[in-house]
Amino acid sequence: MICVPPTQKESIDLIFRSILSGFFKEGSFKKSIIQMTSNFVDATSDIYHKITEVLRPTPAKSHYTFNLRDVSKVFQGILMASPQTCNDKGIMI
């Protein structure tokens, strides 16, 4: 039997904040977009933790549980943005 403890919120935030800030800086995004990094990470993390608290698997619906793979898909979508198409805060959101 293997037991893996859940990852702490601070660790998750640090990982995704590092990935996102590196992408925005290397991609030459505007400063206003780069400053949104913490907002993206905080919002996604808050939603993820709220979902895992509220939508727990039940015997009738045990087929799906939310995990970090779902969070990573959100950031994969953001990482597909380009500075040419997402040059404004409203567009990036």
Q: Where are the domains of the chain?
A: 9-56+64-92
Q: What is the pTM of this model?
A: 0.81
Q: Which residues contact residue 40 at a Cβ distance below 8 angstroms, ignoring those fewer than 6 apart?
A: 20, 78
Residue 17 to residue 15: CA distance in whole angstroms: 6
4-18 confidence digits (pLDDT tens) = 887 888 999 999 999
45-78 confidence digits (pLDDT tens) = 999 889 888 887 777 766 677 788 989 999 999 9
